[in-house]
Structure 1
Amino acid sequence: MKIAFKMYLKPGYKEEYQRRHAAIWPELKQLLQANGITDYTIFFDEATNTLFAVQQQSGDQSSQELGTTEIVQRWWAYMADIMETNPDHSPVTVPLTAVFHMD
């Protein structure tokens, strides 16, 4: 199943966001893949500082639902200074509904 959601970057942090993701922690990437999360892409809308994430999910959880794991909690805390977050440091996310798909 392919899912999509949006998150919000604080103004002026596009390059820092890209830098941190270019060096994604190997153990975080391994956790995502082990839970069936692949083909994960995040797009950025500069006009609104909105991040649009799309991921293929073959397991039971999306990347955002793995927040009970220690590594995801550490990643959220690491990213909290540049993103809009909830009190537990998880990113504020809004699920998106597919309205069109072309094969």
Structure 2
Amino acid sequence: MNGRAFRMKLKPGTVEEYRRRHDEIWPELARALRDAGVYDYSIFLDEETLHLFAVLKLWPDHKLGALPEQPVMQRWWDYMADLMEVEPSKRPREWPLQQMFHLP
């Protein structure tokens, strides 16, 4: 199993809107993620710090690196940019997380 985990950060006062937008994730975005080889994706919130912790499970032949070029991904980033810390490209700022333990 290939996996990836990273941290992102919400802006204050945006938790409920972030949840609402993800509850209504665009079908074309979900399809693009699956087509890129993502078969499981979870995001967890630390309410004290507003840090988001994302965990992706990827098929071995994934094409995750191609996602940033997808128009639907760029539209999603534009849509979410007012809620989170982002790069100049509107891509969410990500801090990679190092796996310290795994119980298969």
Q: TM-score, normalised by structure 2?
A: 0.93
For 1:84, the equivalent position in structure 2 comes to 85
| CA positional deviation for 1:39 | 1.1
1:39 matches 2:40 = yes
Name the % identity. 48
Q: Secondary structure at the match of 1:41?
A: strand
For 2:54, the equivalent position in structure 1 comes to 53
Unaligned runs of 5+ in 1: none
Query: What is the distance in 2 between the residues matched to 1:61 and 1:29?
Result: 13
Query: What is the distance in 2 between the residues matched to 1:42 and 1:97?
Result: 16
Q: Which runs of 4+ in 1 moved over 3 A?
A: none
1:93 matches 2:94 = yes
Q: TM-score, normalised by structure 1?
A: 0.94
Query: What is the distance in 2 between the residues matched to 1:42 and 1:19?
Result: 13
| CA positional deviation for 1:56 | 0.4
Kindly provide the CA deviation profile for residues 45-91 of structure 1, in whole angstroms up to 9, marking residues without a partner as x.
011110000010110326xx611111000000000000000001000
Kindly report the root-mean-square deviation, in angstroms, between the aligned alpha carbons of the 2 structures.
1.1
